Structure 1
Amino acid sequence: MLSIGEFSKICGVTTKTLRYYAEIGLMNPDEIHPENGYRYYSIKQLKKMLFINRLKSYHFSLDEIKAMLEREEDQSEEKLVTVLLRKQREMYEKRNALDYTIKQLNHDLLKMEKGIPMMAYLDNIEVQLVETQPIHILSLRQVMTSDDYATGYRKYFRKLYERIATEKLTLLGTPITIYHSPEFNPAGNDTEFALPVAEAVTGTRDLPGGLCAKSVCKGPYSELTSVYARLREWVEKEGYELVRSPYEVYVTEPDHASVPEELVTEVYFPVRKK
């Protein structure tokens, strides 16, 4: 048996952390002395601790690691590979986003050195007034928290694609997201995921056509707030008002872009003249 101190030293984890892991049920000592309360760990627990450390280094949360350990008995290597691949994809996306942010920062610095205001780029976001046609969509509506947005898009669009494949429906376009909440709420936003289809089946409806202020976002989704701000400014300036929820059309789907700069997203504000 290993004392908590020796176990701590071998695994590179503080005794305070080990006590916390025991408190949350992630890693319990193999034995606790009944008289003095000293904690002891078995040799076989070294492997488990190193496994936890490895998953932490891959940016898994403690809750995620705990869930994986609780399913350890039926956790095959194949399932573990699937989880690791998902995490790998998330990390690549974060790395690409950071690379883009650094590139954007360098671009802003170069502009400012030339006397160009940092926010001047907003004036270069083009807005068009377009007449859209009704779109028949298969949709799924969900209240999404801020954390859900990071992973939820793939999850819900995957469900829609699976239904299209199962029911042999005819796909007519790229994914659409419609935002129904009147304001942003980190605790939950009313979001509708949709795919254009030909058939009228349960779960389909018409997305009305009509007059829209339209802009195109070329780059990562973090740029969408600038596009929304420019569209709202244009709507107000030109004497229009919003009549329905804004929506986005993903001309380039996330899985089809190797870097954020390749993403193309159309943003539509349904409007009418005041």
Structure 2
Amino acid sequence: MLSIGEFSKICEVSTKTLRYYDEIGLIHPDEINPENGYRYYSIKQLTKILFINRLKSYHFSLEEIKDILEWEQDHFEEKLSTALNLKKRKLQEKLRTYEYTLKQLNSDVLNLEKGISMMSYLNKIEVQLVETKPMNILYTRQMLSSDDYTFGYGKYFSKLYETIATEKLTLLGTPITIYHSEEYNPAGNDTEFALPIEEIVNGTRELREGLCAKSVYKGPYSELTSVYAKLTEWIENEGYEMVNSPYEKYITDPTQTTHPEDLVTEVYFPVKKRS
């Protein structure tokens, strides 16, 4: 048996953290002396704490780790492999985001050294007024938190594609996201995912035609807030007002490119002239 201090030293986890792990049910001491309350861990528990440390290094939360430890042994390795692959994709996405951010930061530093405003890129975002045609869309509508956006998109669009394949429907265009919430809420936003199709079936509706302020943006989705700001400014300056929820069309499939700067997105703001 190992004292809590010895166990702590070997696995490089503080005794305070080990007590917290015990409190939340992550790993309990193998034995507690009833007379003095001293905690002891078995040699076999070293493997468990190393497993916990490994999952933490992969950015699993303590809650996620606790769930994994409670899985039944049947198909444990298979389920763990699935969880690791999902975490891997999330980390790869974050890595691509950090790489783009570093590239952008370097560009801003160079511009400032040349006397160019850091926000001058906004002037490169073009806005045009277009008349859109009505579209029949297959859709699903969800309350989605900010943390769910990146991976939630794939999940809900995948379900729509599955419906198209199962029911042998005719796809007519690229994916669309429509934002219905009147204000941004990190806890959840009313988000509609849609695919334009030919057939009018259960689960479809019409995305009406109308006048729209439109911008085409090439770059990562994280920068679309700049496009929204530019469109809002243009609408105000040109004497228009919003009449419906804004939406985005994804011209480039994000699964087909490893470079965020290659993504192409069209942003539409339905508008009318102010009276």
Q: Give the TM-score taking structure 2 as reference length.
A: 0.96
Counterpart for residue 48 of structure 2: 48
Counterpart for residue 186 of structure 1: 186
Q: Secondary structure at the match of 2:119?
A: helix
Q: Which structure 2 residues correspond to residues 76-115 of structure 1 after superposition, within 5 A?
A: 76-115=76-115
Q: Secondary structure at the match of 2:69?
A: helix
Counterpart for residue 131 of structure 1: 131
Instruction: State the percentage of identical aligned residues.
Output: 72
Displacement, 1:75? 4.3
What are the ranges of 5 or more consecutive residues in structure 1 without an aligned counterpart?
Answer: none
Q: Which structure 2 residues correspond to residues 1-274 of structure 1 after superposition, within 5 A?
A: 1-274=1-274
Which has the larger displacement, 141-150 or 73-82? Answer: 73-82
Q: Give the TM-score taking structure 1 as reference length.
A: 0.96
Displacement, 1:90? 0.9
Q: Distance in 2 between matches of 1:4 and 1:169?
A: 62
Q: Distance in 1 between matches of 2:271 and 2:140?
A: 24
Any idea what the Cα deviations from partners look like across 1:106-143, whole Å, max 9, x if unmatched?
Answer: 11111111111111111110111111111111111111
Q: Secondary structure at the match of 1:59?
A: coil
Q: Distance in 2 between matches of 1:37 and 1:174?
A: 63
Any idea what the Cα deviations from partners look like across 1:38-90, whole Å, max 9, x if unmatched?
Answer: 11112221111111111111111111111111114234322222211111111
Q: Distance in 2 between matches of 1:72 and 1:8?
A: 28
Q: Secondary structure at the match of 1:139?
A: strand
Q: Distance in 2 between matches of 1:40 and 1:223?
A: 52
In structure 2, give the amino acid aligned to 1:161. Y
In structure 1, give the amino acid aligned to 2:237. K
Q: Distance in 2 between matches of 1:234 and 1:101?
A: 27
* Superposition RMSD in Å: 1.3
In structure 1, give the amino acid aligned to 2:2. L
* Count of aligned positions: 274
Which has the larger displacement, 73-82 or 234-243? Answer: 73-82
Q: Distance in 2 between matches of 1:65 and 1:176?
A: 35
